[in-house]
Structure 1
Amino acid sequence: MDFKPLSAICPDPIERGWLRNDWHDLTFLHWPYEPAAVQALLPDGLTVDTFDGKAWVSLVPFMMRRAGPTWLRKLPYVSDFEETNVRTYVVDSLGNRAVWFLSLDCVRLPVVAFAKMLIGFPYFWADMTLAIDGPKVTYTTRRRRWPRSPAARTHVSIDIGGAIEPTELDVFLTARWGTVAKSFGRLWFHAVDHEPWTLHDVTLIELDDSAMAAPGLAEPIGEPIARWAQPVHARFARPIRV
């Protein structure tokens, strides 16, 4: 299979799209895994993407703003919310190098229901807070056990440093211009466009997490690669079947 090259700038800009998201106060925590361990969690039709022979899984807490269809005004309560996701990196049958979500924890039950049933993302209803004190950012997430959700919690506290020049690995982990979801028994690629990431170095102050292991992975080993990102404004194209 020919993999599409990765680029720090979106290769296929989306002028309007059908969904919009603004991602604020976003932190990336990345750990390497053996490819076979991650491949075992993927559906047929997806191949784990690797860097220097390793698969990668990321814990990503952030604040979502202005979420919703591009033709609809921002909705009170529903459009702004905290979210924490666990994601890995895959290649689909068309060669798209995309994100595959292992879980997404969100505080808005209507968003959870919409994205889970219609788009196929593995959302869970959760309680979450995001606190900012100067350069210090603290995220706390606890998944609700209803409806039939596996237990998971996350507590992350970071200190934001200066902006950095992205490494080749940073580009591999963040320059993903689409996601893949499984909906109605089929895989769909959702192209996404946003500004190039501006990444900052991070000092990890506290980490207590069980969301990484909840989908069936082993606990991550060692210190993660940690980055904080300046806000971006994202647009999603209509999905295509892969």
Structure 2
Amino acid sequence: MFGRRWLEMTWRDGLFCHWPVDPAVVDETLPEGLSVATHDGDAYLGVVAFVMDRIRPRGVPLGLSFPELNLRTYVEGPNGPGVYFYNLDADDRLGVAVARRLFALPYYRAEMSATSAGEDDTVRFRSRRTHHGVPSAGFDATYGPVGEAFAAEPGSLAAFLVENYRFYADGNRLYRGEIAHDPWTLREGTAEIRENTLFEANGFERPDDDPIVHYAEPIDVTADRLRRA
């Protein structure tokens, strides 16, 4: 997909919660050069929570580990389809500073925890944004897997929502980043969401419907340097 892979990491305890929304609502929030991507006529907003484990330059044995929480949508851009992030909250001051500087991404500091909540890989994930000068945001959910593991079929809604290997960032110009990993191993998920103010923090109305929930098995990821789109 790309040449030299700069960063290595493992993503674990992954939660994907997605809500269908009117494409026009999303399209008006996107920077120049991007347009909303749809599946069967719907755009999607997704809340994704996971732990980024052992983030390190390629070949380095030790690295940073911290939870991350983001609100995203899916777009078409000059280099193909990808993810556009409205926020990425993370519990690591150094990691947030580096990501904001090197990747032009909307990373914000937050107090976060991702802890085992019982049997069957159930996770309690909590986040409270502490970054100064931006809207407050909180998230509190318990989630876990149900059913058998599967890989998303090409062209399916699940594949549209999770199998994305490019992101776009809006700095003083449009940038793109590429990641690489094996296809996700998914299970249908269940989530009890007690708090979620990410929509309001980013200027959206919170959907009334229940989300589409997927639980993701741990996966090893590599990432390239940010490049101009």
Q: Check whether TM > 0.5.
A: yes
CA distance in 1, matches of 2:193, 2:85: 24
Q: Secondary structure at the match of 1:189?
A: strand
Counterpart selection for 1:166 from 130, 135, 152: 152
- 8 Å contact from structure 1 (residues 23, 233) kept in 2: yes
2:93 aligned residue: 109
Q: Secondary structure at the match of 1:213?
A: helix
Moved beyond 6 Å, runs of 4+: none
Deviations 1:44-65 (A, max 9, x none): 1111101111110110111111
2:77 aligned residue: 92
Counterpart selection for 1:203 from 190, 200, 216: 190
CA distance in 1, matches of 2:168, 2:11: 19
Q: Which segment drifts farther, 43-52 or 162-171?
A: 162-171
Q: How does 1:167-186 map to 2 (within 5 A)?
A: 168-183=156-171, 185-186=172-173
Cα pair distance change 1:234/1:16, threshold 3 Å:
farther
- 8 Å contact from structure 1 (residues 16, 235) kept in 2: no
1:189 aligned residue: 176
- 8 Å contact from structure 1 (residues 16, 70) kept in 2: no
1:3 aligned residue: none
CA distance in 2, matches of 1:149, 1:231: 31
1:137 aligned residue: 123
What is the number of residues matched between the two proteins? 224
1:7 aligned residue: none
Q: Secondary structure at the match of 1:45?
A: coil
1:53 aligned residue: 41
1:4 aligned residue: none
2:132 aligned residue: 147
How far off its partner does 1:15 sit? Answer: 7.2
CA distance in 2, matches of 1:189, 1:151: 27
- 8 Å contact from structure 1 (residues 62, 83) kept in 2: yes
CA distance in 2, matches of 1:65, 1:159: 19
Q: Give the TM-score of the pair, scaled to structure 1.
A: 0.87
Unaligned stretches of 5+ residues in structure 1: 1-11
Q: Secondary structure at the match of 2:126?
A: strand
Q: How does 1:18-33 map to 2 (within 5 A)?
A: 18-33=6-21
2:107 aligned residue: 123
Q: Secondary structure at the match of 1:25?
A: strand
The CA RMSD over aligned residues, in Å, is 1.6
Give, as a single letter, the amino acid of the residue that structure 1 aligns with 2:152.
P
How far off its partner does 1:71 sit? Answer: 4.5
2:68 aligned residue: 83
- 8 Å contact from structure 1 (residues 131, 137) kept in 2: yes
CA distance in 2, matches of 1:98, 1:152: 25
Counterpart selection for 2:141 from 143, 150, 156: 156
How far off its partner does 1:149 sit? Answer: 2.1
- 8 Å contact from structure 1 (residues 204, 226) kept in 2: yes
Unaligned stretches of 5+ residues in structure 2: none
Q: Secondary structure at the match of 1:91?
A: strand
1:214 aligned residue: 201
Matched, 1:35 2:35: no
